[in-house]
Structures are given as C-alpha cells and as structure tokens.
C-alpha cells in the first residue's frame, strides 16, 4: 500500500484544494455535531432518516471536520466557537442552552455564499444571514509530527478528501483495498 497523498508542490496545493472545496458554494450548512475534540459541520443535502431528536442519523452530502480553533461570527460578534464546545458536556449539544444556540444558528440552513482559503490553513465560509465560519489553525509543524487541522469530505463517495495539516494541504485519495492472498 503506497502513500495516500496526491503529491503537489506548495504553490499549487492551495489552489488545488480551493478547486475541490468550491463545490460547497451554494450549499446549506445544516448541522454541527461533536466527536471528542472534532467539530463536524454538515453541508449540502442530507440522506437518511434523522433520529428522534431530529438529528444524528442523516448523512451529509459534504462534511467539514475541524480539529483546530473555529468560530461562527455575525456582525463582528462571535456567536459560537470551538472553546464553547470544548467546555461543554457533549450531550449538551442536543439540548439545553448550548443546543438551542446551535439550533438557532443552523436551523435556517444558511447557504455558503463564498469560500476563502487563506494562508497557514485558514478557511472562511461566508454564509447567508451575514454569518461566517472562520477556521484558523494554531499549531506549527515539527520535523517528526504533522497535525491535522481540518478535512473536507463527501461521505460515501469516492471524491478525495481535502486535508489541511501543519505542513500543508493535500488530497487524500483514500486507502486502496489490499489484495487477498
């Protein structure tokens, strides 16, 4: 099994990543969930049947998995950020004041109006209703370790994942099936 990365030189890797990410422009943001320390933003259409609470089982057309600081901003005010979720009980995302805040932000299904891929892994999604999702990595690479900041994927499809790590962007082509003996 070889390297899953599609190699590309640094000047073109951001342009290549941007091309793959542009597909979300015009799509709605419709859910935000948490898995340990990873925020999962659901975009586009949904497939499947939601659970009793209206969430949970629907599969997004596209997903943005974020493991670095992020925030939802409207009119210069942070509506919700990664620190809010880091301090919360994970079950509070589906009820209580935090769950209500999340619901208020994603229920209108704000549409992605623009996408900016900035230097050092920063990503901005301009959303309808004057809101922005700002993702801003905050860690440097070391010679021995690379840190994954965010990953854009289309669950259930063969599209490559766009991955931003501390040492740059790459397209994850997925794992090739191993041959049976």
pLDDT in tens, 66-112: 999 999 999 999 999 999 988 877 677 777 888 889 999 999 999 99
119-127: list long-range contacts, CB under 8 Å, 24+ apart: 121/68, 121/149, 121/150, 121/164, 121/165, 121/166, 121/169, 123/21, 123/150, 123/164, 125/24, 125/29, 127/29
> What would the pLDDT profile of 150-181 be if each residue is shown by its tens digit?
999 999 888 899 999 988 888 887 643 333 33
Q: When comparing pLDDT for 74 and 14, which is higher?
A: 74
The better pLDDT of the pair 177, 131 is held by 131
What integer pLDDT is reported at residue 174 of this predicted model? 60
Quote the pLDDT of residue 53.
54
pLDDT tens track for 22-75: 999 999 999 998 888 899 999 999 876 555 555 556 789 999 999 999 999 999
Structure tokens at 85: 């979720």
Calculate mean pLDDT across residues 139-156. 85
Q: In sequence order, what are the beta bridge partners of 43? A: 29, 62
The model carries a pTM of 0.84
Give the pLDDT confidence score for residue 25 in this predicted structure: 98
Mean pLDDT of 127-150: 89
């Amino acid at each position: 099994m070889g390297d899953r990365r599609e190699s590309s030189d640094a000047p073109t890797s951001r342009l290549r990543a941007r091309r793959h990410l542009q597909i979300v422009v015009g799509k709605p943001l419709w859910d935000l969930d948490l898995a340990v320390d990873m925020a999962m933003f659901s975009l586009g259409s949904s497939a499947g049947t939601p659970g009793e609470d209206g969430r949970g089982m629907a599969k997004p057309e596209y997903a943005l998995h974020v493991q670095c600081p992020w925030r939802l901003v409207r009119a210069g005010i942070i509506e919700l950020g990664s620190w809010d979720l880091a301090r919360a009980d994970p079950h509070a995302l589906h009820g209580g004041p935090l769950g209500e805040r999340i619901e208020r932000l994603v229920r209108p299904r704000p549409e992605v109006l623009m996408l900016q891929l900035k230097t050092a892994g920063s990503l901005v999604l301009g959303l309808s209703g004057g809101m922005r999702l700002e993702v801003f990595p905050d860690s440097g690479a070391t010679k021995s370790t690379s840190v994954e900041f965010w990953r854009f994927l289309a669950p259930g499809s063969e599209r490559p994942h766009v991955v931003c790590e501390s040492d740059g962007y790459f397209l994850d082509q997925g794992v090739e099936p191993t041959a049976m003996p």
